[in-house]
Amino acid sequence: MRTVAEIMTSVQTMFGETSTRARFEAVKAIMNSRMKLGTPVRDHLLRIMTHFNEAEIHGSSIDQQTQVDMILETLSDSFIPFKTNYVLNKIDLNLTALMTELQTFESMIKSKCGEANMVVASSSSSKKKKKVSDKRKASLKAKKKVSKTEKKVAKEIFMYLN
Per-residue model confidence as pLDDT tens digits over 80-108: 998 988 889 888 888 889 999 999 998 98
| DSSP SS3 for 125 | coil
Rounded CA separation 55/81 (Å): 29
**pLDDT level of residue 140 (50, 70, 90 thresholds):** low
> If 0-12 CB within 10 Å is exposed, 13-18 middle and 19+ buried, where does residue 52 land?
buried
Cα(16)–Cα(1) distance, rounded to whole angstroms?
23
The reported pLDDT for the residue numbered 153 is 44
Q: What is the pLDDT of residue 73?
A: 92
Q: Can you give the pLDDT at residue 37?
A: 84
Averaged confidence pLDDT in the chain: 74
Q: Predicted confidence band at 46 (pLDDT cuts at 50, 70, 90)?
A: very high
From the number of C-beta atoms within 10 Å of its C-beta (0-12, 13-18, 19+), residue 2 rates as exposed
- pLDDT value, residue 115: 47
Indicate if the alpha-carbon torsion angle 32, 33, 35, 41 is positive or negative.
Answer: negative
